[in-house]
Structure 1
Amino acid sequence: MVEDLELHTLGPTGTNCEAAARHWLRSRGADDTRVELHPTLEDAVTAVLADPDRSALLACVVYPDLHNIVFGNLDSLALRDCFVMPTHSMVLASRGGEAPRTVASHAAPVSLIDHMDVRIRLVDSNAQAALDCAAGEVDACVTTSVAAEAAGLTVLKDFGPVPMGFSVHAPHEIEV
């Protein structure tokens, strides 16, 4: 039952996956605090499989290795739902507003800065990119507006929200 379901997804807090997971639970009348965040979706799958009686995975359809997650777990997980919702505004942000030389980004939105002459450091999530920027590990980041604000970053460019697909995968035993 959805009311008892823990939904595992990509963290840390501030990711589009977290927002989508909370939205999906609320839309089914379930408690949106039952979202567990993980450094990668692969880690989230491991957690779901460790507790298959009450866990499911929420993924973003542009996650670079979603195909491996789906086909590598056909015996354990089934695609149960797909939906579209806008992401948080995607932004290029920095600590002080200066032109960046290094930018942290998740692989999915990195093409937003293809036109820039910068060194790109790939990270596991948009929210992690903001944390790394705030910590001074890079000059700027591609992240969500929520993560940029939480990290105290300055928005250099706002790309706006993106209509995005999200998928829910659950063990075969679970009703979703």
Structure 2
Amino acid sequence: MNQVRHLHTLGPTGTNLESAAHMWLDRRRLTDDGSVMLHSSLESAMETAPRTGEHALVACAVYPYLHTLVFENLLACRMIDTFLAPTHAMVLAAGPDAPPEPHTVSTHPAPASLVPQGSERHLVNSNSQAAIDCAAGKTEGCITTIVAARAHGLRIVRDFGPVPMVYTIHQVLEAAR
């Protein structure tokens, strides 16, 4: 664990996982020596992270495919740490011209149950991507973080608050033989 300096996780900027990665580096006083790299998916992060032992993947316990990610990469990664921390406040947000209850909602699969009943779900790779798609008019609303909603000028329809979350750190190594 003490050789990990570079964290790979889900982007674009504004995700709970990005925040957790910075938190992990801060807690280990590695903010000057470490880095956080954002990827379009955790799977692409796992594929591209150098196998030097200095790189790790940051995931969360509610990631719908965490079990697949772990077991498909069993020989090349190992879970070295976990920690509990709140997410950013999770919100249902909408564009300025959207109806009070959006009919179409972008969401990552993990918080998809927060989409209002009767709204059509559009699955995306991250909470931040949901906000980007909503701001671009691809959907009327999104389930996202308050950070991403504000960054994209979205109106908060409903604030679900922060969610206590377990984050996992997976060191990436050369595959064992």
Residues 61-80 of structure 1 aligned to structure 2 (within 5 Å): 61-80=61-80
Runs of 5+ consecutive residues of structure 2 not aligned to the other structure: none
Aligned residue pairs total 171
Q: Which moved more, 1:95-104 or 1:65-74?
A: 95-104
In structure 2, the residue matched to 1:27 is 27
The 2-side partners of 1:51 and 1:36 are apart by 15
One-letter amino acid matched to 1:87: T
Deviations 1:97-119, CA, capped at 9 Å, x for gaps: 52211000000001112x52111
One-letter amino acid matched to 2:67: H
Asked if 1 retains the 8 angstrom alpha-carbon contact of 2:3 and 2:53, the reply is no
Say yes or no: does 1:38 pair with 2:39.
yes
Q: 1:2 to 1:13 in 2, by over 3 A?
A: farther
Q: When the two structures are superposed, what TM-score results if normalisation uses the length of structure 2?
A: 0.91
The 2-side partners of 1:136 and 1:151 are apart by 12
RMSD, aligned CA: 1.7
SS of match in other structure, 1:111: helix
> Which protein is richer in helix relative to its size?
1
Runs of 5+ consecutive residues of structure 1 not aligned to the other structure: none
SS of match in other structure, 2:144: strand
Q: When the two structures are superposed, what TM-score results if normalisation uses the length of structure 1?
A: 0.92
Deviations 1:139-175, CA, capped at 9 Å, x for gaps: 00000000000000000000000000100000357xx
The 1-side partners of 2:12 and 2:76 are apart by 25
Asked if 1 retains the 8 angstrom alpha-carbon contact of 2:3 and 2:54, the reply is no
The 2-side partners of 1:148 and 1:119 are apart by 19
Residue identity over aligned pairs, in percent, reads 49
Asked if 1 retains the 8 angstrom alpha-carbon contact of 2:4 and 2:56, the reply is no
Say yes or no: does 1:127 pair with 2:128.
yes
In structure 2, the residue matched to 1:159 is 160
Deviations 1:112-138, CA, capped at 9 Å, x for gaps: 12x521110000000000000000000
Asked if 2 retains the 8 angstrom alpha-carbon contact of 1:2 and 1:25, the reply is no
In structure 2, the residue matched to 1:109 is 111
Asked if 1 retains the 8 angstrom alpha-carbon contact of 2:53 and 2:171, the reply is no
> 1:28: how far off?
0.3
SS of match in other structure, 2:71: helix
> 1:3: how far off?
7.2
Q: Which ranges of 4 or more aligned residues in structure 1 deviate by more than 3 Å?
A: 1-4
